[in-house]
Structure 1
């Protein structure tokens, strides 16, 4: 297990999150700038009007350094949506991603959601393996052109 901790997302984390998503996905997936723009919009929406009782974001940190993020937001009254799950390469393979996912799912369950959903891409094999190991089910998979590249978009779900 990692020595990293999870703390609540703060507004001053947003520029870091946008930059990290943009840089990592450009480097690893070839995504164009529209992906970082989408992350910026998601964070602006969250900061402008999330329900702190039923929606939350976390930042993983170790020794004062940010390592990743995960968010739980409402899709509707019964369904939570996992968003912006990111773990820097230097923090992977230490159990931190599993801890972040469990924390997010536990929060959703405690907040009264009966189900969680998420959207990702097939190329994120490690994340998809983590979802599957945690009991998530792949609902849909389809080829798309997004963020300047050809991708296979996936939708996943889990009953809480």
Structure 2
């Protein structure tokens, strides 16, 4: 299933950005030539052939033939390195720099056209998902995706309910009853926050600028209890540290408020979240089987003494 999905995405994406067209971004250069021009155009100085081959992960024979074509077209010059005559270095000619500039402008224009119909939120989500793909698949140049917490903005509370409903229905089969519960929790939080009731906070986590998760902190049933509610991490953002960052925010806020403990209610299928809680010292204080959303499971109450 995962392999099929990855293959389908690859077909969609390569078609969407025009990889199979004869010339990339309106130029006469197919993708392999365009990549060489791009790398040389962004280099600070001459580039060793060996380094370019490693960057492109290209067969030596294929790269040699490609460079020969670009040399014949007057776009690239191959010459011996100053410090080691055994090594070849590459640089763009003036004509090659003009070809690179056309490609660069074409790429920017095509991406602008792709992004133009998208809302600001959709663009942020797209960029965040791209960063997650690069990081998960081991792109060393991508750098770690920064997880940032912010207060909810207009529309975010509806997003919390919608994403809980969609994600948990897809992954666990929890239906409308669960989404209704989330809506009530969010509504209660919104009313308390609107009246500035102490001890009510919410955080939206972003990764690469895209909404990647959320959590609420409300008053617990017992005096001195902060209750963690509606922790969610978007599937594409898992493994980036989003869940732990959100839990830590609730705990830090409870400590700042002078609370005696943080409590939460979770369910037995949520094993990944349970591991996050366990690592932070939460302990099981009660559990009870239920089938509130049509699926038998065990509800679990956890607590962290502060």
TM-score by length of 2: 0.50
Matched, 1:135 2:135: no
Q: 3-state SS of the aligned residue for 1:19?
A: helix
Residue by residue over 1:96-139, the C-alpha shift from the partner in whole angstroms, topping out at 9 and shown as x without a partner, is: 21111111100011011111110010110010011000000011
CA RMSD across the alignment? 1.5
Task: Give, in whole Å, the separation in 2 of the partners of 1:103 and 1:145.
Answer: 31
Name the residue aligned to 1:65. Answer: 210
- Output aligned runs, 1:96-111, within 5 Å: 96-111=242-257
Greater helix content: 2
Off by >4 Å, runs of 4+ in structure 1: none
Greater strand content: 1
Name the residue aligned to 2:147. Answer: 4
Task: Give, in whole Å, the separation in 2 of the partners of 1:106 and 1:93.
Answer: 22
Residue by residue over 1:56-113, the C-alpha shift from the partner in whole angstroms, topping out at 9 and shown as x without a partner, is: 1000113432111011111143001000100011111122211111111000110111
Moved more, 10-19 or 133-142: 10-19
Measure how far apart 1:4 and its partner are: 2.0
Unaligned runs of 5+ in 2: 1-143
- Output aligned runs, 1:1-160, within 5 Å: 2-50=145-193, 51=196, 53-75=198-220, 76-160=222-306
Unaligned runs of 5+ in 1: none
* Contact preservation (8 Å) 1:11, 1:47: no
Number of residue pairs matched by the alignment = 160
Moved more, 2-11 or 66-75: 2-11
Task: Give, in whole Å, the separation in 1 of the partners of 2:241 and 2:263.
Answer: 22
